[in-house]
Structure 1
Amino acid sequence: MDPAFLVGVVLAFGALVAMITMEGASFQALLIPAPMILVLGASIGVGIASHTLRDTVLAVKSLGRMVRGPRSTPEAVIPHLVGYAEKARSDGLLALEQELDSAPDDFTRQALQALADGADAEDMRQIMDDEVAATASRNRVAARFFSSIGGYAPTIGIVGTVVSLTHVLEKLDEPDHLGPMIAAAFVATLWGLLSANFIWNPIAGRLHRIGAIELERMTLVTEGVLAIHAGSAPHVVQERLRALSTVTPRERAPKKHAVEDAP
């Protein structure tokens, strides 16, 4: 489990608590149920409204993965692929079927099954690229869902403040209560900004990063399996995958296009 999200959120809220304590402010003045319900409830509501129900379910399911973090680094799959290359070189591709149960993930298991079944290299490339694209699409949907909530939250906080100030104007004949009422009115804006920057946007950013790590891992598996299919020596597979693991997806893409565009 990667604790970065929990550590970061605790640190952020800890800094807020420290500021409130040092300034001698009251926690009760900030923990007002009405604006909190409006901001949190309405933000989630409009987030759901701006997506499909399937997107919402997918985003909720991604929260567990977000908290746990990536299962392992992309480089962790390299020893497995090198071992598969050694086994294929000594016993043949069909022998890789024995490694299915010990494969580190479903994508690798699917690739090994295709190797053992004697699939054509182009077909394997197409199938694996399609799986990578589908995974990337799911990751984007989940990240965008929480990013959209983070975008709505500050504006909804302003809506709550406007509603509260309208109530304040109705009580101008009670000057002794105006100060606390005005202060309470701005709590909605506070929670809009707070929830967006302390909760929703960090969740979206973490899901985006975890998705990028997952895609990098899948890319290494794709290239490694295709190298095994081509009969590359284990040390060649290892060096190629190590080289690929040091290149970010953004840096890798132009090179791929350059090869595809070459005559």
Structure 2
Amino acid sequence: MIGLVGIVIIFVMVFGGYLLAGGHMDIILKTLPFEMIMIGGAAVGAFVISNDTSAIKHTLKDVGKVFKGPRWRPDDYQDLLCLLFELIRLAQTNPVEIDEHIEGPEESAIFGRYPKIKSDGEAVALICDTLRSAGLAYDDPHQVEEVLEKRMEASQHHAMHSTHALQAVADGLPALGIVAAVLGVIKTMGSIDQPPEILGKMIGGALVGTFLGVFLAYGLVGPFAAKLKTVVEEDAHFYQLIREVLIANLHKHPPKLCIEVGRQNTPSHNRPSYNALEEALKSLRQEAA
């Protein structure tokens, strides 16, 4: 919703200010469709050239995040801490029984209590793979931490591709606007024998191309890329939390301490309070009793 508000503000301020200054929309409206075909079409073509099919689909899907915002909310962070608490407690008290949950998370009763987390393949894989490594000879916390770091860097790089793709389009739009404007000037020069009032309108129409390229770059596509980057970085904290808690578990800390490590590393605006989390964990312990 806040994204739509921002778009409305941009259009109202730009075109409202233009009209208040005595400008007329007739030249812009008459020229806009043709300029949009040239500039928008060229931008889309350049985007298609510089990305493969998978990246194009990924970017188009990610544009919705500009309006939806981060996927993970404060309640999800608390649910994640509760899920990890259950798994770590079971892994430390009954290492054999934990196997059925990490080898078949889709059928696990523990994962089933947290459907939103269960539906995220990356989160589930990260949890299960790390817990599985704890049961193997591959249990050096520092070694596992390094592997997790590289894995998360790769995932983050992939997630950020949409941001880079949109920013590349934004960077190219002003130049494409100049291309459209030059074509408008060429058209005007072909009618140099026309009266000044006609030439003035033609030159004004040509300048719409420059305006449109800059407006789209810095008023829409650039902010879209910046917002998408913020959302991707925000969601990355969720997976970082998994890493912190499971590394603490590999250091053989008690389950409650592992969860407190995760809570302290949760961003402040998503961090559950100590008392709220303690109540949730208390309920889990009572259910298990």
> Under a length normalisation based on structure 1, what TM-score does the superposition of the two structures give?
0.80
Q: In the alignment, does 2:110 pair up with 1:107? A: no
Letter in 1 for 2:89: R
Query: Deviation at 1:223?
Result: 1.1
Alignment of 1:51-70 (within 5 A): 51-70=51-70
Corresponding residue for residue 129 of structure 1 = 149
Q: In the alignment, does 2:183 pair up with 1:166? A: no
1:27-56 deviations in Å (ceiling 9; x for gaps): 332232111111111112123223334332
Alignment of 1:7-156 (within 5 A): 7-31=5-29, 32=31, 33-73=33-73, 76-82=76-82, 84-85=84-85, 88-89=88-89, 92=94, 94-95=97-98, 97=101, 98-101=109-112, 102=114, 104=117, 105-114=120-129, 115=131, 118-119=135-136, 120-122=138-140, 125=145, 128-156=148-176
Conserved 8 A contact 1:39-1:192: yes
Letter in 2 for 1:194: F
Say what the alpha-carbon RMSD is for the aligned residues.
2.7
Q: Unpaired segments of 5 or more residues in structure 2?
A: 102-108, 269-289
Corresponding residue for residue 220 of structure 1 = 241
In 2, Cα distance between equivalents of 1:15 and 1:27 = 14
Q: Unpaired segments of 5 or more residues in structure 1?
A: 248-263
1:220-243 deviations in Å (ceiling 9; x for gaps): 111112323444234422432233
Which has the higher mean CA deviation after the structures are superposed, 177-186 or 212-221? 212-221
Q: In the alignment, does 2:191 pair up with 1:180? A: no
Which has the higher mean CA deviation after the structures are superposed, 183-192 or 164-173? 164-173
Quote the sequence identity (%). Answer: 21
In 2, Cα distance between equivalents of 1:210 and 1:26 = 38
Conserved 8 A contact 2:176-2:213: yes
- Length, aligned pairs only: 245
Query: Deviation at 1:177?
Result: 0.6
In 1, Cα distance between equivalents of 2:59 and 2:218 = 18
In 1, Cα distance between equivalents of 2:239 and 2:16 = 43
Conserved 8 A contact 2:72-2:235: no
In 2, Cα distance between equivalents of 1:131 and 1:27 = 52
Q: Which has the larger radius of gyration?
A: 2
> Under a length normalisation based on structure 2, what TM-score does the superposition of the two structures give?
0.74
* 1:190 corresponds to which of 204, 207, 211: 211
Which has the higher mean CA deviation after the structures are superposed, 95-104 or 146-155? 95-104
Conserved 8 A contact 2:42-2:176: yes
Conserved 8 A contact 2:237-2:267: no
Q: 1:51 is paired with a residue of what secondary structure?
A: coil
Query: Deviation at 1:82?
Result: 4.4
Letter in 2 for 1:220: L
